[in-house]
Amino acid sequence: MSSYNVAPLEKLVEQFEKMPGIGYKTAQRLAYYVLNLSKTEADTFAKSIIDAHEKIHYCSVCCNLTDQDLCPVCKSEKRDRTTICVVETPRDAMAMENTNEYKGLYHVLHGAISPLNNIGPDDLTIKELIARFGNDNEISEIIMATNPTVEGDATAMYLSRLLKPMGVKITRLAYGIPVGGDLEYADQITLARALEGRNEL
C-alpha cells in the first residue's frame, strides 16, 4: 500500500487476512496485537498452531477431531451406542453436545454434498459411516443433523437412501421457529415448515 510497509508485518497481516471473516483492518489489528506480545507469548502462540496441526486428526470411528486414536465420545462407556447423530462439521457435533440432551454417538461428514463446489459423496466420510454397520453393530437409529440448507438436505436425503437398506430408523432434526424468535421475523419457508410439523398440545 504505502511506502511505509514493513515486510514481516505485512506477511503476518496477510496470514490473518486469509482467515474467514477477517478483513484487512482486522488483520492489521491482530498483527499489531501479536507484535505487542512478549517473546514467550508469541512462541506459545506459534507453537499452539503447529501443535494443533500435528496432534489433531480424525477419530478412527466417528471422524470427529481428536488427539487420541478414539475421541472421548466413542471411547466413553456412558454413551448410547444404538444412536448415531450425523453432522457436517466438528463444530456441529460440539453444538449438539452443548445441548446436554444427546447421549448417543456422532459421525462427522466433514462437509455436505455440493455439486456447485465440486463436493461429491466420495469427498465426505460416508465410507467410514457405512463401515460402522459391521457384523455386531447395535445401531438402531441414525439422526440426520446436517445443516438446514439445500446442501445439508441433499446430503441427508442421499444418506437416508443409502442407509435404509441396512434396516435402521433414519430421522431428521425438526424444522421450525427458533425458540425465543419472533414470528414476525421468521422467513416464509421456516414458518411453512413449522406449520407442517405442528404438534398436538
Residues that bind its own copies (CB under 8 A): 1-9, 11-12, 14-15, 19-22, 26, 28-35, 37, 39, 42-53, 55-56, 64-67, 71-73, 76, 89-91, 93-94, 97-98
Comparing CB distances to its own copies, the nearer of 106 and 168 is 106
Q: What is the DSSP letter of 184?
A: G
DSSP 95-146: HHHHTT---EEEEE-SS--BGGGTB-GGGTTHHHHHHTS-TT----EEEE--
Q: Which is nearer to its own copies, 42 or 130 (CB)?
A: 42
Nearer to its own copies, 26 or 160 (CB): 26
* Residue 173, Cβ density class (10 Å: 0-12 exposed, 13-18 middle, ≥19 buried): middle
Nearest-approach distance from CB 97 to its own copies, in angstroms: 4
CA quadruple 36, 56, 155, 174: dihedral sign: negative
Q: Which of 165, 171, 162, 113 is nearest to 142 (CA)?
A: 171
Q: Is 156 in contact with 146 (CB distance < 8 Å)?
A: yes
Which is closer to its own copies, CB of 31 or CB of 156? 31
Rounded to 5°, the CA angle 53-55-58 comes to 90
**Which three cell numbers, joined as nine digits, stand for 48?**
499452539
Closer to its own copies by CB, 110 or 193: give it.
Answer: 110
